[in-house]
A = this chain, B = another copy of it.
Amino acid sequence: MNSNRLEAFSDGVLAIIITIMVLELKVPHGTEISDLVPLLPVFLSYVLSFIYVGIYWNNHHHMMHAVHKVNGGILWANLHLLFWLSLIPFVTGWIGENNFAELPMALYGGVLLMAAIAYFILQRSILAVQGKDSILNKALGKDIKGKASPIIYTVAIIGSFLNPWIAGVLYILVALMWLIPDKRIEIIFKEEA
């Protein structure tokens, strides 16, 4: 079974997720700078989540590039990932409208943690089909970023109850860590070619 349609469907869902988040930026009624000020936390949370969805799209793009055949298990592992990502607009709106309060920040991390776990499961399902000698497996190597992220999210969730800024800084940190594109797969591909 071909992976094209899985990619197209995932692209569609990710494109909608990334775009409906902007609907939380409600058009203000006034026309002064002071009318924009309350939107600042909403805007910042939008930027952060835009980057996260962008990272997922980017990594998904890289990973699927190494996949040609998909089975039922992979299809559902992918839908499971999309489910958690689809909750990002909700938690983004919640942290943005409440100035990054404790519980919203913790739940934001909870959704990121579940998405990371779902991504890990998807990766496992693909590796199960492709085997240990596959390009993807070589490219992942020790997958340090993939393993570090859930740990940092967990720390951030706990930390958010001490001070929400702990969580905030950690979420930005993980984003920056991933923003550097996954050179590993690109490099291995070149070596193979």
Q: What is the interface of chain A, defined by CB distance below 8 A to chain B?
A: 1-2, 5-9, 11-20, 22-25, 27-29, 31-33, 36, 47, 50, 54, 57-58, 61-62, 65, 71-73, 75-76, 79, 82-83, 86-87, 89-90, 93-94, 97-98, 101-104, 107, 179, 181-183, 186, 189
Contacts and interface: CB of A to CB of B under 8 A. Distances in A.
A172 to B, nearest CB: 16
Given A75-B181, A76-B181, A87 B22 contact: yes
B22 A19 contact: no
B50 A83 contact: yes
B5 A94 contact: no
Given A9-B57, A50-B83, A101-B31, A90 B1 contact: no
A76 B90 contact: no
A9 B11 contact: yes
A64 to B, nearest CB: 8
Contacts of A33: 103
Contact of A9 (B15, B24, B31, B47): B15
A111 to B, nearest CB: 11
Given A25-B90, A32-B103, 7 more contacts: A2-B65, A20-B22, A22-B86, A22-B89, A31-B94, A54-B79, A72-B186
Nearest to A102: B31
A31 to B, nearest CB: 4
Contact of A12 (B1, B12, B61, B98): B12
Nearest to A180: B72
